[in-house]
Amino acid sequence: MSRRPPRRVAGQPDGSFAALRSEIEQLRRELVQARTRIQHLEQGAADPLAARRIAELEEGQKVARGLALDAAVARSRAEAELKALRAAIERAPGLRGWLLRRALRRLGGPAAPTRPKQGR
């Protein structure tokens, strides 16, 4: 699609001239406001904004570090619990122990060390 306005037929009165003129005036006002804002920011008004944003980012970084530390502690606890659970399964005696080891192997866990069979 073309961005150009459709061509006017010669002799047709232009009723949108006033609308175009008001739009031009509005755009000029917006341009002046943008220029004054840029000058205001260049003169150092951005420093408090930047300082506040940097403080927010640093605070977020501290929170992220704390969360990462909590996650690392939780992971190490979970790994220790898993290790203890696997050790308990390997030491479980009798039929229940055998069933637990078999279930662990079927779930894809590490196979328990095989015990030498007696009497064969």
CA dist., res. 21 & res. 5, Å (int): 16
pLDDT tens sequence across 27-55: 999 999 999 988 887 776 667 777 788 88
Does residue 111 lie in a domain region? no
Check pLDDT > 80 for residue 8.
no
Q: In this structure, is residue 9 part of a structural domain? A: no
Kindly state whether residue 100 falls inside one of the protein's structural domains: yes
Say how far residue 17 (Cα) sits from the centre of its chain: 50
- The total number of structural domains that make up the chain: 1
pLDDT digits (tens, 9 = 90+) for 57-86: 999 999 999 999 999 999 999 999 999 998
Phi, psi of 21 (to 5 degrees): -65, -40
- Within a domain: 60: yes
The answer as to whether 94 is a domain residue is yes
Neighbours of 101 (CB within 10 A): 20
Angle 70-72-75 (CA atoms, 0-180°, nearest 5)? 110
Question: Does the pTM of the predicted model rise above 0.75?
Answer: no
Mean pLDDT taken over the chain: 81
| Residue 34, in any domain of the structure | yes
What does the block give as tokens for 38? 């840029």
Give 104: exposed, middle or buried? Use CB within 10 Å, 0-12, 13-18, 19+. middle
Q: Is residue 14 part of a domain?
A: no
61: domain range?
Answer: 20-106
